[in-house]
Amino acid sequence: MMTRVLGTAALTLVALAAGAGPNVAKAQGPGYGRDSIECRSNDYRYNRCNTNWRDARLVRQLSGSRCIRGQTWGVDRGGNVWVDRGCAAVFAEAGGGPGGGHGGGGWRPGPGWDTDISFVCESRDFRYNMCQVDVGRGGGVRIVRQISGTRCIEGRTWGYNRAGVWVDQGCAAQFVVERRWRD
Protein backbone atom coordinates (compact mmCIF):
# COMPACT_ATOMS: atom_id res chain seq x y z
CA MET A 1 0.00 0.00 0.00
CA MET A 2 2.81 2.43 0.92
CA THR A 3 4.50 1.77 -2.45
CA ARG A 4 1.25 2.60 -4.29
CA VAL A 5 0.89 5.96 -2.41
CA LEU A 6 4.50 6.89 -3.09
CA GLY A 7 4.12 5.91 -6.75
CA THR A 8 1.01 8.09 -7.13
CA ALA A 9 2.74 11.03 -5.43
CA ALA A 10 5.76 10.66 -7.73
CA LEU A 11 3.52 10.60 -10.83
CA THR A 12 1.70 13.73 -9.62
CA LEU A 13 5.00 15.57 -9.12
CA VAL A 14 6.20 14.53 -12.58
CA ALA A 15 2.91 15.69 -14.16
CA LEU A 16 3.06 19.06 -12.39
CA ALA A 17 6.70 19.56 -13.38
CA ALA A 18 5.77 18.82 -17.01
CA GLY A 19 3.12 21.53 -16.95
CA ALA A 20 -0.01 19.42 -16.50
CA GLY A 21 -2.50 20.19 -13.79
CA PRO A 22 -3.12 23.59 -12.25
CA ASN A 23 -1.44 26.65 -13.76
CA VAL A 24 1.31 27.52 -11.32
CA ALA A 25 3.36 30.64 -11.95
CA LYS A 26 6.90 29.52 -12.66
CA ALA A 27 9.85 31.87 -12.23
CA GLN A 28 11.72 31.40 -15.51
CA GLY A 29 14.00 34.40 -15.34
CA PRO A 30 13.49 38.16 -15.02
CA GLY A 31 9.92 39.28 -15.59
CA TYR A 32 8.31 35.89 -15.17
CA GLY A 33 6.15 34.68 -12.32
CA ARG A 34 3.11 36.10 -10.59
CA ASP A 35 3.50 39.57 -12.07
CA SER A 36 3.69 38.45 -15.70
CA ILE A 37 1.17 37.16 -18.21
CA GLU A 38 1.21 35.57 -21.63
CA CYS A 39 -1.11 37.27 -24.13
CA ARG A 40 -1.67 35.98 -27.68
CA SER A 41 -3.39 37.29 -30.80
CA ASN A 42 -4.94 34.07 -32.10
CA ASP A 43 -5.52 33.90 -35.87
CA TYR A 44 -4.16 37.47 -36.15
CA ARG A 45 -7.21 38.79 -34.25
CA TYR A 46 -7.41 41.44 -31.54
CA ASN A 47 -7.30 39.99 -28.03
CA ARG A 48 -7.44 41.60 -24.60
CA CYS A 49 -5.87 40.04 -21.50
CA ASN A 50 -7.15 41.16 -18.11
CA THR A 51 -4.34 42.59 -15.98
CA ASN A 52 -5.52 45.75 -14.19
CA TRP A 53 -2.06 47.29 -14.76
CA ARG A 54 -1.40 50.98 -15.37
CA ASP A 55 1.40 50.07 -17.79
CA ALA A 56 3.19 46.99 -19.12
CA ARG A 57 6.47 46.03 -20.70
CA LEU A 58 7.19 43.27 -23.18
CA VAL A 59 9.43 40.70 -21.51
CA ARG A 60 9.72 38.07 -24.25
CA GLN A 61 8.18 37.82 -27.70
CA LEU A 62 6.72 34.37 -28.43
CA SER A 63 5.40 34.91 -31.97
CA GLY A 64 7.01 35.17 -35.38
CA SER A 65 4.84 38.25 -35.99
CA ARG A 66 6.32 41.51 -34.74
CA CYS A 67 5.13 42.93 -31.43
CA ILE A 68 5.33 46.73 -31.64
CA ARG A 69 3.97 48.86 -28.81
CA GLY A 70 1.08 51.03 -29.97
CA GLN A 71 0.66 49.02 -33.18
CA THR A 72 0.33 45.34 -32.29
CA TRP A 73 0.21 45.56 -28.50
CA GLY A 74 -0.52 48.07 -25.75
CA VAL A 75 -2.40 48.77 -22.53
CA ASP A 76 -5.95 50.12 -22.72
CA ARG A 77 -7.64 52.62 -20.39
CA GLY A 78 -9.11 49.76 -18.36
CA GLY A 79 -5.62 48.49 -17.51
CA ASN A 80 -5.75 45.48 -19.85
CA VAL A 81 -2.96 44.36 -22.17
CA TRP A 82 -4.16 44.04 -25.78
CA VAL A 83 -2.49 42.30 -28.71
CA ASP A 84 -3.33 42.22 -32.41
CA ARG A 85 -2.11 40.97 -35.81
CA GLY A 86 -0.36 37.82 -34.55
CA CYS A 87 1.61 39.32 -31.67
CA ALA A 88 2.15 36.85 -28.82
CA ALA A 89 4.38 37.69 -25.87
CA VAL A 90 5.01 37.55 -22.17
CA PHE A 91 4.26 40.89 -20.51
CA ALA A 92 5.07 42.22 -17.05
CA GLU A 93 3.75 45.19 -15.13
CA ALA A 94 5.89 48.27 -15.74
CA GLY A 95 6.80 50.68 -12.98
CA GLY A 96 6.49 48.20 -10.15
CA GLY A 97 5.47 50.70 -7.47
CA PRO A 98 2.39 52.73 -6.67
CA GLY A 99 1.35 54.74 -9.68
CA GLY A 100 2.79 52.26 -12.18
CA GLY A 101 5.09 53.68 -14.83
CA HIS A 102 3.33 57.02 -15.31
CA GLY A 103 4.50 60.39 -14.14
CA GLY A 104 6.98 60.40 -11.30
CA GLY A 105 10.70 61.07 -11.50
CA GLY A 106 10.13 64.38 -13.28
CA TRP A 107 9.81 62.69 -16.68
CA ARG A 108 7.92 64.70 -19.30
CA PRO A 109 7.11 63.91 -22.93
CA GLY A 110 9.38 65.37 -25.59
CA PRO A 111 8.81 68.41 -27.83
CA GLY A 112 5.73 68.31 -30.03
CA TRP A 113 3.83 65.95 -27.77
CA ASP A 114 0.96 68.41 -27.33
CA THR A 115 0.54 68.90 -31.09
CA ASP A 116 -2.98 68.02 -32.27
CA ILE A 117 -3.26 65.33 -34.95
CA SER A 118 -5.90 65.62 -37.70
CA PHE A 119 -6.85 62.70 -39.96
CA VAL A 120 -9.76 61.04 -41.80
CA CYS A 121 -11.05 57.63 -40.73
CA GLU A 122 -13.71 55.83 -42.79
CA SER A 123 -15.89 52.74 -42.41
CA ARG A 124 -15.89 51.40 -45.98
CA ASP A 125 -18.79 49.16 -47.03
CA PHE A 126 -20.22 49.62 -43.51
CA ARG A 127 -17.33 47.58 -42.05
CA TYR A 128 -15.30 48.10 -38.89
CA ASN A 129 -12.04 49.97 -39.42
CA MET A 130 -9.29 50.87 -36.93
CA CYS A 131 -7.21 53.95 -37.77
CA GLN A 132 -3.99 53.75 -35.79
CA VAL A 133 -2.99 56.98 -34.10
CA ASP A 134 -1.32 57.62 -30.76
CA VAL A 135 -4.04 59.14 -28.58
CA GLY A 136 -1.68 59.28 -25.61
CA ARG A 137 -2.35 59.52 -21.91
CA GLY A 138 -4.87 62.24 -21.15
CA GLY A 139 -5.66 62.80 -24.81
CA GLY A 140 -9.09 63.18 -26.33
CA VAL A 141 -10.65 62.69 -29.75
CA ARG A 142 -13.37 64.73 -31.44
CA ILE A 143 -15.00 64.95 -34.85
CA VAL A 144 -14.13 68.10 -36.80
CA ARG A 145 -16.24 67.30 -39.87
CA GLN A 146 -18.50 64.38 -40.69
CA ILE A 147 -17.99 63.11 -44.25
CA SER A 148 -20.51 60.27 -44.42
CA GLY A 149 -24.26 60.42 -44.81
CA THR A 150 -24.45 57.90 -41.97
CA ARG A 151 -24.42 59.50 -38.51
CA CYS A 152 -21.25 59.14 -36.46
CA ILE A 153 -22.25 58.49 -32.84
CA GLU A 154 -19.51 58.09 -30.25
CA GLY A 155 -19.62 54.68 -28.59
CA ARG A 156 -21.87 53.27 -31.29
CA THR A 157 -20.36 54.00 -34.72
CA TRP A 158 -17.03 55.42 -33.59
CA GLY A 159 -14.76 55.44 -30.55
CA TYR A 160 -11.13 55.41 -29.51
CA ASN A 161 -8.54 53.83 -27.26
CA ARG A 162 -4.76 54.08 -26.95
CA ALA A 163 -4.36 52.16 -30.22
CA GLY A 164 -6.34 54.70 -32.24
CA VAL A 165 -9.79 55.58 -33.52
CA TRP A 166 -12.29 52.99 -34.74
CA VAL A 167 -15.29 53.53 -37.01
CA ASP A 168 -18.12 51.19 -38.00
CA GLN A 169 -21.50 51.02 -39.78
CA GLY A 170 -20.63 53.60 -42.46
CA CYS A 171 -19.27 56.38 -40.24
CA ALA A 172 -16.63 58.52 -41.96
CA ALA A 173 -15.23 61.73 -40.52
CA GLN A 174 -12.27 64.00 -40.05
CA PHE A 175 -11.04 63.54 -36.48
CA VAL A 176 -8.67 65.50 -34.27
CA VAL A 177 -6.65 63.90 -31.50
CA GLU A 178 -5.96 66.47 -28.81
CA ARG A 179 -2.95 65.10 -26.96
CA ARG A 180 -2.31 66.63 -23.58
CA TRP A 181 0.07 65.53 -20.88
CA ARG A 182 -1.46 65.27 -17.44
CA ASP A 183 0.44 64.70 -14.23
User: Long-range contacts of range 62-68, CB-CB < 8 Å, 24 or more positions apart?
Assistant: 62/38, 62/88, 62/89, 62/90, 63/87, 63/88, 63/89, 65/41
Q: Which amino acid is at 173?
A: A
Cβ atoms of 60 and 90 within 8 Å: the answer is yes
User: Residue 111: what pLDDT?
Assistant: 63
pLDDT per residue as tens, the chain (183 positions)? 544 544 444 444 444 444 333 322 233 344 455 678 999 999 989 999 988 888 889 999 999 999 998 889 988 877 889 999 999 999 998 865 444 444 444 555 566 666 788 999 999 999 999 999 887 666 789 999 999 999 999 999 999 887 889 999 999 999 998 876 554
**pTM (predicted TM-score):** 0.42
Helix, coil or strand: residue 108: coil
User: Residue 78: what pLDDT?
Assistant: 79
User: Residue 107: what pLDDT?
Assistant: 55
- Strand partners of residue 130: 166
Interatomic CA distance for residues 112 and 181, integer angstroms: 11
* C-alpha pair distances (Å), 118 with each of 43, 113, 121, 153: 32, 14, 10, 18
User: Residue 101: what pLDDT?
Assistant: 43
